[in-house]
Structure 1
Amino acid sequence: MTSDSGDEASVSLREAGEFRIIDRVTAGRVQPGTTLLGPGDDAAVVAAADGRVVGCTDVLVEGVHFRLDWSSPEQVGRKAAAANLADIAAMGAVPTALLVGLACPSTTPAARAEALADGLWAEASAVGAGVVGGDLTSGPVVVLSVTALGSLEGRAPVLRSGARPGDRVACCGRLGWSAAGLAVLGRGFRSPVALVDAHRVPAPPYGEGPRAADAGATSMIDVSDGLLADLGHVARASGVSVRLHSRAFTVPDRLAEIGSALGVDPMDWLLTGGEDHALVATFPVDGELPAGWTEIGAVEHPGDDGPVVTVDGQVHEGDAGWLHFAKY
């Protein structure tokens, strides 16, 4: 498709129109076998082999969850997909499909919408899922709403409410990298690239969710808001307390270097930083942890203060993680 001026890159969504953009972002995409009917009808049809579907939704808002002067549209698309795909993995399920709602100003270049779609497809394809449908509309800023579907493949879902006193707490995936990258960007820098890229595009250990479920995980959650905050959800849902051991955490050299340069204790990033989408789970004490999982604490009976999360026996001072309505 070309504009009247012949400059395809400058075509806006207003000029291109909704349906021509939808055609452009869906043409030539290869759907996985679980997609029985993809984009083009009133709704998609996705196979659910054992009769159950796992579903979740996340919303990313420009200026709150991402900045287009810090991240490319493709990176934003991948980040939006990852936030949802990690939730599916945290249930012990395998992702099968994404549904996407996108609102943009009408002056948005059509190429930007296509790049967002490229990012969504790249992340979905990496786990064998498809982008099976969605909606496109106008709005004052870019808002990306993604719904992910998944298959339990015969497993029982791993809930937040299953942790039991005596269980071990273990984690798999990076912690603190996205928060450190955000701190770097907030100071006006673009390096170290590894940290900045960790904020732009997380790297959740998707396959470890089903593996943890197969290994007998009693509860599980992905670290989207911060380790302490998300374990707090598990503690409250399960009616238990969680004790973490600081000695169990290894601060990566890169985080230690940047923490020193910025005057930040890097342990704060590990404990309260969100958007890495690592997985944290509880396991029976008499079982073996899956390879790649690190034991970081234990589940205990709640004390007089009710379900709490402590580090070396002390409640963390300050925020435990991201608070969605604290700023806006």
Structure 2
Amino acid sequence: MNPAITPSDTLAELGEFGLVARVTAGRSHPPGTLLGPGDDAAVVAAPDARVVACTDVLVEGVHFRLDWSTPEQAGRKAAAANLADIAAMGAVPTALLVGLACPVSTPVATLEGLADGLWAEARASGIGVVGGDVAASTALVISVTALGSLEGREPVTRGGARPGDLVALCGRIGWAAAGLAVLHRGFRSPVAVVGAHRVPEPPYAAGPAAALAGATAMIDVSDGLLADLGHVAEASGVLVDVRGAALEVPMRLREVASALGTDPLHWLLTGGEDHALVATFPPGSTLPSGWTVIGTVREGVPAVLVDGRPYAGPGGWDHFTRG
């Protein structure tokens, strides 16, 4: 926290332009940022002549809670959700843009914490926050836009899976869902599990690596493994069959599930917000490091099966329907 800020300072006292100056001062940018914050728009290098772009909106009380997470953790989570989408296209990130809406009574320390988290996750990916906007609102809302470069490759979309392809996973799944379940019970530990809900750890480099290895389709696991594979199945017109035995349940998740009286496999199959990557590869492919085969693609009516059968339970998160 800036030593000049006291807990009583709010956005109403600092003002929009004071906040922008506060959260951008002293920040360094990588060479790809040709013009950073401070003008009408930023300028970011695009040597590929194509720009990959995605946006996510996070609303306090829906996607994060500041009584469960620090502002910095919420900022990192907001950035990670977008950077994982860039990776899922087989691209590398080049810049972040941030829109923030919040009550004028919001403490400046909270907003600085959010900014610190956004910048920290951006720096971990070798990029910066190049611009954005601030507006007054009745709720705290963070909107992040990520830009990326394909580096001369074709994008890896959801619609390229073909019968016979291997289905592979990179990154952890189920951890964020387990952490959320723990928090809902009023606990704050195990720290590793709760931390997974607060700040995901997407395998950013695995997306471009998969593209180089010939991935035919890819998506990040934001809504749940089965739900997101369902998007691939629908876009590709194929059936996806996941092997339950290929999904290793970590001992820590087994322990937490036992304490909460639930099946940990359910977290792996339906839990979102870990932002792992799942992709399909041609049969016989040599997979990049970190990728594990978890199923196959077959001909059939678009669907996702587990061991050849529909999964008996909710399939994942949908923002407008629950089920």
Does TM, scored on the shorter chain, surpass 0.5?
yes
2:34 touches 2:43 (CA, 8 Å); kept in 1? yes
Q: Which residue of 2 aligns with 1:181?
A: 179
Whether 1:324 aligns to 2:285 is: no
Please give the per-residue CA displacement for 1:54-104, whole angstroms capped at 9, x wherever unaligned.
Answer: 000000001101110000000000000000000000000000100000011
Taking the aligned partners of 2:313 and 2:263, their CA distance within structure 1 comes to 13
Unaligned runs of 5+ in 1: none
Q: Does the residue aligned with 1:23 lie in a helix, a strand or coil?
A: helix
Any residues of structure 2 matched to 1:191-270 within 5 Å, and which?
A: 191-270=189-268
Unaligned runs of 5+ in 2: none
Any residues of structure 2 matched to 1:1-328 within 5 Å, and which?
A: 8-302=6-300, 306-326=301-321
Give the counterpart letter for 1:244 in structure 2. Answer: V
Q: CA RMSD in A?
A: 1.4
Taking the aligned partners of 2:316 and 2:128, their CA distance within structure 1 comes to 31
2:241 touches 2:297 (CA, 8 Å); kept in 1? yes
Identity %: 71
Taking the aligned partners of 1:7 and 1:40, their CA distance within structure 2 comes to 22
2:202 touches 2:276 (CA, 8 Å); kept in 1? yes
Taking the aligned partners of 1:158 and 1:26, their CA distance within structure 2 comes to 34
Taking the aligned partners of 1:9 and 1:260, their CA distance within structure 2 comes to 41
Give the counterpart letter for 1:185 in structure 2. Answer: L
Q: Does the residue aligned with 2:159 lie in a helix, a strand or coil?
A: helix
Q: Per-residue deviation at 1:7? A: 6.1
Taking the aligned partners of 1:326 and 1:287, their CA distance within structure 2 comes to 37
- Could you tell me the TM-score, scaled by structure 1's length? 0.96
Q: Per-residue deviation at 1:286? A: 2.2
Please give the per-residue CA displacement for 1:238-282, whole angstroms capped at 9, x wherever unaligned.
Answer: 000000111111100000011111011000000000000000000
Give the counterpart letter for 1:322 in structure 2. Answer: W
Give the counterpart letter for 1:132 in structure 2. Answer: V
Taking the aligned partners of 1:111 and 1:45, their CA distance within structure 2 comes to 29
Taking the aligned partners of 2:198 and 2:284, their CA distance within structure 1 comes to 39
Q: Per-residue deviation at 1:2? A: 9.7
Q: Per-residue deviation at 1:326? A: 2.6
2:5 touches 2:108 (CA, 8 Å); kept in 1? no
Q: Does the residue aligned with 1:144 lie in a helix, a strand or coil?
A: strand
Q: Does the residue aligned with 1:111 lie in a helix, a strand or coil?
A: helix
Please give the per-residue CA displacement for 1:207-253, whole angstroms capped at 9, x wherever unaligned.
Answer: 00000000000000000000000000000000000001111111000
Taking the aligned partners of 1:309 and 1:8, their CA distance within structure 2 comes to 52
Aligned residues: 322
Taking the aligned partners of 2:305 and 2:60, their CA distance within structure 1 comes to 34
Please give the per-residue CA displacement for 1:30-75, whole angstroms capped at 9, x wherever unaligned.
Answer: 0111101110111111100110000000000011011100000000
Give the counterpart letter for 2:193 in structure 1. Answer: L
Give the counterpart letter for 1:138 in structure 2. Answer: A
2:5 touches 2:109 (CA, 8 Å); kept in 1? no
- Could you tell me the TM-score, scaled by structure 2's length? 0.98
2:165 touches 2:282 (CA, 8 Å); kept in 1? yes
Taking the aligned partners of 2:321 and 2:64, their CA distance within structure 1 comes to 17
Q: Does the residue aligned with 1:98 lie in a helix, a strand or coil?
A: strand
